[in-house]
Amino acid sequence: MSHPWRAAFITPSVRTGGEGSVRAPYLRREFTVGAGLRRATLSVSALGLIEAYLNGTRVGDEVLTPGWTSYQHRLVVSSHDVTDLMTAGGNALGAVLGEGWAVGRLTWEADCRAVWADRPAAFLQLDLDYGDRIETLGTDGSWRASTGAGLTDGIYDGESYDARLEPTGWAEPGFDDAAWSAVEVVQRDLDTLVAPMAPPIRRIEELPAREIITTPSGRTVVDFGQNLAGWVRLTVSGTAGTTITLRYAETLVAGEADFRTNRTALATDRYTLRGDGPETWEPRFTFHGFRYVQVEDWPGPLDRDALTAVVVHSDLRRTGWFETSDELVNQWHRNVVWSMRDNFVGLPTDSPQRDERLGWTGDINVFGQTAAFLYDVTGVLGSWLADLAAEQREKGGVPFFVPDPRGRADPTTALWGDVAVSLPWTLYEEYGDRDVLARQYPSMTAFVDGVERLLDDSGLWNSGFQFGDWLAPDAPTTNPSGGGTDARLIATAAFCRTTRQLERTAEVLGHDADAARYRALHERVRAAFHHEWVSPAGRLANETVTAYALAICFDIFDPAQLPRAGRRLADLVAAAGYRISTGFAGTPFVAHALSRTGSLRTAYRLMLQTERPSFLYPVTMGATTVWERWDAILPDGTLTETAASSLNHYALGAAADWLHRVVGGLSPAEPGYRRVRVAPAPGGGLTHATLTHDTRWGRMRVGWRRGAEGRMTVEVSLPPGTSAQVILPEHPENLTDDVGAGSHRWEYDIPVPTRGAYTLDTPVSTLADDPAVWSAVDAVLRKRVPGYTGSEPGDGEPSLPTLRALLNFYSPPGLEQDLVDALSGTHT
C-alpha cells in the first residue's frame, strides 16, 4: 500500500493473561473533531484479531479481521468510511483484540503458537479530511489499555466471556480511563501492509435450531440440521454469575454428541451472565465447525428460539447452480457447496472444526475448478496465491499448506506443490484474466524448474516423498498415502500436466523461448512416462482406476491407445462394483476419463452408486457436507477410527465438476467463457438437469429434459458478446449447432432402438445403454440368478462380457429362453 502511514502497532505494556493465554486487550483514545469535516476514513489491522469502535459503535460488519495471510509478508488493512459516526467536539476511538492466527495455537503440534506475535497488537489510523488539510490520528504510545469481559479466546479452543466484567461506555467519549495502563509500540515493517484482495469474512446467514435433543445420558444437545462454520448466538436470562457452556460437534454417535472429529480443538464457548435481564451474546474471536451443540448449565428450560447458528465465511459471490431430477444427486451437490462455504473462512482450508483448518495446497488444487464454477474466487484465491509465492520464495519450495506456521521447508510434491502452476491456470481458464498468470509466473516457473532438477536421467520423477492417491479406500488407515496406485506414476503424470500448463502460460504471456523450453520438457517427461508405464496397446503397468484416469485426463496416451485405455478403465470400475476406489489424486478425474473414452454409462453408475464407498453413500447417511473419507461414518453410525475423518472437507467434492461439464453440459471453449461448448450428456436414469453459471460476460443457462414420451428438449441461454457450439444429445441426426447470444430451444424425438436386434452375444455394455432392454434383462437376472443384486454384470466386466458368457457357466432350465424373450421384447 502507498498510504502514508502515521500509526504504529500497539499492545498493552502489561500482560493481560496468564501463561499460554491472553485476556482480550481493550484499547482506547479520545480526540477532538473540528468544524468542516468532509470525510473520515478509518484503516484497521492487527497482529491477532481486532474489532474497532468509534463513539461506542462497532465499525463495519467484518469479522475475524484482518483474516489470515502470510503475516511476515502480507498483512491486510481494511478501510472504512466512518464520517457518519463522527461528531463535532469530543470523540473516542477504541478496539478489542483477540489472539487469532498470529498469536494463538495452530496445527496439531503442541508448541505451535505465537508464531507471528507473542501478544495481540492493534493498528488503527483515522484520517480526517477537512478539504484544506488532513489530520491523522493513529495508534501510538499515547493510547490507554485495559481488559474487559473477554477472558480467553482461540481459533481452535473457543471463547470465554464474563459479561459482568464489561466496562460500560469504554469506547465512548468522557469515559474515565485513569485506571487503565499504558501501551507499548510493537516494531513492525509497515511495508508489509497490503490492501485486501479478497472479500472480507462476514456473518452470511443464520439458521434456527431444528431440534432440542435429550441424549441417553441426559445431556441437552441442539441440532441445527446443517454442518456449518461459524458460531452460536444465545439469548438468555438468569442469575448473575451463571456460566453457560456450549460444546460444538459435527455428529452424534449412539445419540450423544461426539467430539472426536475436533481432535484436540476444544471447540467450546462459555458465557457468564451479568444477570440484568435478557442478554444476547456471540463470540467474536473464534469460529467452529459444527451441526450440534451440547448445552450445559442453561438456566431454566431451553427454547429453540434461544439459540441461533451464525454461518460465517468469506463474503463470496455465488456464480454456479446445478440441479437434476435425482434428489440424492442434488443433496450431494448441496453438500459440496456447503463444504466450500465452510472452508473459505478467509482462505481455502481443509476443515473448519479440528486442530488444523490449514490452507492445504493439495485440497484446493483438486477442488479449484469446482470452486471457480460455484463462486467468484478471484480475490480469495488470488490473495492466497500471493501468499504461496511469498512463502515459496522464502522457503525455496511450495509448502504443504499456506500460510505455513511451522517455519520449515517441505519436500516438493506432486498435486500438492504443483498447485503453484495448476491453480493460476484454472483461474485463467475460468475468468480469462491474463494478470493472474503474469503475477504468478515466477512462482509457476520456479516450481517446474525445481521439479526438473529432481527428475532422473530418463525424465521420471522417481525420488522424494509423495502423497500419492491420498486417502484412497485401499490405503491403510495408518498410511493414507499407501494406496495401490504407485506414487511415482502419479508424480510423473502430474508433471506431464503442469509442464503443459506452463508451456501454454508462457504462450499466453508471449514468452516464446520459455514456451519452447517447457514444450520440450513436457515431451521428455511424457516420453519417459510412456517408456516406464504404458504398453504399446495402451495398458498401464500399474492397473488402477486412478492411474488410468490421470493418464487419460492428462493427455498422456497416444490417440490410438485411448480406446483400449478407456475400456480397461471401465473394466476396473465395473470390477469394483461401481464403488469408489480413488483418493485425492484420482477422484476429480475418473468420471471425466470414463465419459471421454465412451463409457458414459459407467461414469453414471459410479456417480449414482449409493453403497459405500461412493459419492452418494454419505448422503444416504444424512450428511450435509462432504466427508474427508468415503466411509467416515460407518453404516452402524459409528465413526471410523482415524485422525483423518473430518465430516466437512471439500476435496472429494471436486467430482462435481463432472456434473457441471458433462451432465449440465457447459464448459469454456476459450478462457473466460466468451465462447463455450454446450454438450449435455443425459444418462443414469436422469430425466432432466439444469445448470446456471454467471461468467464475466453474464449469466449462462443450460437445461435439458427427456420426456416420458421419448422427446428431448434442450434450452440454452447466452449473454451478449458470447457464442456457443451446441452438441445436441441423442439427436437423430447427431446435430451440432452454432449459436450466439440469446435464448435458444431445440425439441426432437429420441431415436428408438430397433427391438430384436440384440442377441445373447451382444456386449453387455451395449445392452445396458438401452434402458428398456436392460430393464427387461435385469428383471430376468434378478428373478433367475441367485445372488444377483443388480450390481453385475456390468459394462465391460471381463468375466461377463455377454449374456452367452453367463450361460456358459450357469444355465438353469428356462433362463436362456427368458433372456431371448427379454431381448426381443416378448418376455412378461
Listed in sequence order, the DSSP H helices in 472-542 are: 487-509, 512-533
What is d(CA 173, CA 55) in angstroms, rounded to the nearest whole number?
Answer: 7
Amino acid in position 377: V
Query: What single string gives the DSSP state of each residue in 795-811?
Result: TT-TT-SBHHHHHHH--
Q: Are strands 144-147 and 181-186 parallel, antiparallel or unpaired?
A: antiparallel
816 counts as catalytic? no
Q: Give the number of other Cβ atoms within 10 Å of residue 214's Cβ.
A: 10
Indicate the range of 158-162, 584-588, 761-765 predicted with least confidence. 761-765
Q: Higher-confidence residue: 828 or 551?
A: 551
pTM for the full model? Answer: 0.93
Give φ, ψ of 673 to 5 degrees.
Answer: 70, 20
Is residue 222 over pLDDT 90? yes
Average pLDDT rounded to a whole number, residues 599-620: 96
Q: Give the number of other Cβ atoms within 10 Å of residue 446's Cβ.
A: 18
Is residue 19 over pLDDT 80? no
Amino acid in position 147: T
- The predicted-structure confidence for 423-447, as pLDDT tens digits, reads as follows 999 999 999 999 999 999 999 999 9
Q: Give the SS3 label for residue 651.
A: helix
Is residue 616 over pLDDT 60? yes
What's the confidence (pLDDT) of residue 478? 86
- Model confidence band, residue 419 (pLDDT cutoffs 50, 70, 90): very high
Is residue 800 over pLDDT 70? no
Average pLDDT rounded to a whole number, residues 63-72: 98
- State the average pLDDT for the chain: 94
What's the confidence (pLDDT) of residue 799? 43
Share of the chain above pLDDT 70, in %: 96
Average pLDDT rounded to a whole number, residues 14-21: 60
What is d(CA 428, CA 89) in angstroms, rounded to the nearest whole number?
Answer: 52
Indicate the range of 355-364, 456-465, 641-650, 668-677 predicted with least confidence. 641-650
What's the confidence (pLDDT) of residue 758? 86
Locate 292 and state its grid cell.
450440534
Share of the chain above pLDDT 90, in %: 86
What's the confidence (pLDDT) of residue 467? 96
Is residue 416 over pLDDT 60? yes
- The predicted-structure confidence for 680-725, as pLDDT tens digits, reads as follows 999 999 999 999 999 999 999 999 999 988 899 999 999 999 999 9
Yes or no: say if 125 and 43 are a contact pair by the CB < 8 Å rule.
yes
What is d(CA 597, CA 590) in angstroms, rounded to the nearest whole number?
Answer: 11
Average pLDDT rounded to a whole number, residues 636-664: 93
Q: Give the number of other Cβ atoms within 10 Å of residue 132's Cβ.
A: 7
- The predicted-structure confidence for 316-336, as pLDDT tens digits, reads as follows 999 999 999 999 999 999 999
Is residue 737 over pLDDT 90? yes
Locate 620 and state its grid cell.
444416504
- The predicted-structure confidence for 555-572, as pLDDT tens digits, reads as follows 999 999 999 999 999 999
CATH class of the domain whose range is 9-152+161-194: mainly beta
- Model confidence band, residue 775 (pLDDT cutoffs 50, 70, 90): confident
Note whether 9-152+161-194 and 320-663 share their fold: no
- Model confidence band, residue 789 (pLDDT cutoffs 50, 70, 90): low
Instruction: Indicate the CATH number of 201-314 among 2.60.120.260, 3.30.70.100, 2.60.40.10, 3.40.1830.10.
Output: 2.60.120.260
Catalytically annotated residue among 99, 172, 250, 356: 356
Instruction: Indicate the CATH number of 667-749 among 2.60.420.10, 3.90.1150.10, 3.30.70.2080, 1.20.120.550.
Output: 2.60.420.10
Amino acid in position 182: A
What's the confidence (pLDDT) of residue 768? 74
Q: Higher-confidence residue: 595 or 769?
A: 595
How far, in whole angstroms, is CA 771 from its chain's centroid?
A: 36
430 counts as catalytic? no
Yes or no: say if 452 and 499 are a contact pair by the CB < 8 Å rule.
no
Is residue 181 over pLDDT 60? yes
Indicate the range of 237-241, 293-297, 475-479 predicted with least confidence. 475-479
Domain extent listing, the chain:
9-152+161-194, 201-314, 320-663, 667-749, 764-824
Yes or no: say if 389 and 74 are a contact pair by the CB < 8 Å rule.
no
Looking at the domain that runs over 320-663, which CATH code has it been given?
Answer: 1.50.10.10
Catalytically annotated residue among 51, 628, 730, 797: 628
